[in-house]
Amino acid sequence: MRTSPNRLIATVFGAVYVLVGLLGFAVTGSIGFIATEGGLLLGIFEVNPLHNIAHLLIGAALLIAGLSNAMAAKATNTTIGAVYLLLGIVGFFIASTSLNILALNTADHFLHLASAIVLLGVGLTADKTVRSTASV
């Protein structure tokens, strides 16, 4: 049985996003939950506690899907990829407004767009003939 590209990407991205969510709390101790400006993670990505929780939830969804089956991973990669594409685009327009409740900055926008490209790319192109485990 070959490894599913969707499961691999979901698992790797899920682990990274969970780690990023946890590390984010190290730089947001004195920052408001939905502050429009946050602490700098890795010296370049701006985060606030809500942003950290979003990373934890997204990471958990990806990990669960990646560790379950290829169909779940494909659906999750595609869905989260589409959300990140939207967030990456909209982020440029809300960054300097009160709507920026995730404390997004330019580095975040580009990272979200890059994540969207990978997740959507794999989700839409890989595992074209995925069968459910019940039929195997």
| Predicted confidence (pLDDT) per residue in 35-68, tens digit | 999 999 999 999 999 999 999 999 999 999 999 9
Q: What is the pLDDT of residue 87?
A: 97
User: pLDDT band at 128, cuts 50/70/90?
Assistant: confident
* Cα(41)–Cα(3) distance, integer angstroms: 33
User: pLDDT band at 1, cuts 50/70/90?
Assistant: very low
Percent of the chain clearing pLDDT 90 (strictly above): 90
CA distances from 40 to 10, 28, 118 (A): 25, 8, 24
Q: What is the pLDDT of residue 135?
A: 43
Least Cα distance to 109 among 57, 45, 34, 32 occurs for 45
Mean pLDDT computed over 73-85: 98
Report which secondary-structure segment, H or E, holds 46: strand 45-47
Residue ranges covered by each domain of the chain: 5-128
Residue 131 has pLDDT above 60, yes or no: no
* Cα(59)–Cα(24) distance, integer angstroms: 13
| Cα angle, residue 27 at apex, residues 25 and 32 outer, rounded to 5° | 75
* Cα(47)–Cα(80) distance, integer angstroms: 19
15: number of CA atoms within 13 Å, CB side? 7
Q: What is the pLDDT of residue 6?
A: 97
Residue 134 has pLDDT above 70, yes or no: no
Residue 118 has pLDDT above 90, yes or no: yes
Token pair for residue 27? Answer: 């730089």
